[in-house]
Amino acid sequence: MHNHRNLCSRPAGPRFASDQHRAQPARVKLAEPAELEQFQRSYLDLTGSCVPLEYLQRASVHVVRRGPDMVGGFVINTTSPLRTLARVPHDTACQIQDELSQGPPVREVACVWMVPSLRGSAVSTRMWIGLALRIAVFGRGPVVYGTEADGLRRFYERFGSVLLYSGPVQVDNVRKHGWIYYSDSSRWPELIACALRRAS
């Protein structure tokens, strides 16, 4: 088994879906334990951010496969600490956590990724629909999610996400600007569908 600390310290490099499998249909599936390190490597390669293997092991990790290639994925987590809040200033994270703790259990969506060549494609649409349906299974409750990517920020704001925070975040010791949002889980299928229609 690879040491994830060594993995996190190595240079990132892009990975792409193999050309011979581009025509195959994509499928969204729950990751097998053996797929977690591949998810970790792929996310690091595409974003430069390393997700601790321990976090992936306690969360619900989903992958998008096209043929044998892993081309995207996302994480749904329901246990603390939330990765989304770990990157914001401590006082801000505590304030957000206090606000959200007044209602039903919080779940977070994190580590959403798709290889660049498939972003905006039918494969990407399939992933977002799969994510929305899986979120809805948890029933009503707040969903927290964030990003440092402007493209994802625009997508999240298309479906009525409520902005909780906009400001400096710390990602793997690198200071960036980030956004954190929330919305009710029961609305995700409807909201994602609206956002995808507007983007088409």
Q: Does residue 88 fall inside a structural domain?
A: yes
Q: Is residue 8 in a domain?
A: no
Q: What is the DSSP letter of 15?
A: -
Residue 54 in tokens: 């321990």
Closest residue by Cα to residue 82 from 104, 107, 50, 62:
107
Residue 16 has pLDDT above 50, yes or no: no
Within the chain, residue ranges assigned H as helices are 4-9, 36-47, 53-58, 83-86, 90-100, 122-136, 150-158, 188-199
Q: Which two tokens stand for residue 130?
A: 């799969």
- 92 lies in some domain: yes
Q: How confident is the model at residue 198 (pLDDT cuts 50, 70, 90)?
A: low
Rounded to the nearest integer, the mean pLDDT of the chain is 84
In a domain, 7, yes or no: no
The answer to whether residue 121 is domain-embedded is: yes
CA distance 40 to 48: 11
pTM of the full predicted structure?
A: 0.83
Question: What CATH code is carried by the domain that includes residue 68?
Answer: 3.40.630.30
Q: Considering only CA atoms, which of 149, 147, 160, 154 is closest in space to residue 191?
A: 160
With 90 as the cut, is the pLDDT of residue 160 above it? no
Answer whether residue 53 is part of any domain.
yes
| Residue 93: band (very low, low, confident or very high) from pLDDT cuts 50, 70, 90 | very high
Report residue 5's pLDDT band, with 50, 70 and 90 as the boundaries.
very low
Structure tokens at 136: 């809805």
Q: Total domain count for the chain?
A: 1
Residue 40: domain span: 21-199
Q: What are 21-45's pLDDT values in tens digits? A: 455 678 899 999 999 999 999 999 9
| Those residues with Cβ within 8 angstroms of residue 6's Cβ, 6 or more apart along the chain or in another chain | none
> 33-87, pLDDT tens digit by residue?
999 999 999 999 998 899 999 999 999 999 999 988 999 999 999 988 899 999 9
Q: What is the pLDDT of residues 107-123, one digit of tens each?
A: 999 999 999 999 888 89
Query: What order of strands is seen across the sheet that includes strand 162-171?
Result: 26-30, 60-66, 69-77, 107-114, 142-147, 174-184, 162-171
Please indicate, yes or no, if residue 188 is contained in any of the structural domains: yes
Q: Which region, left, alpha or beta, applies to residue 63 given φ > 0 means left and ψ of -120 to 50 means alpha?
A: beta
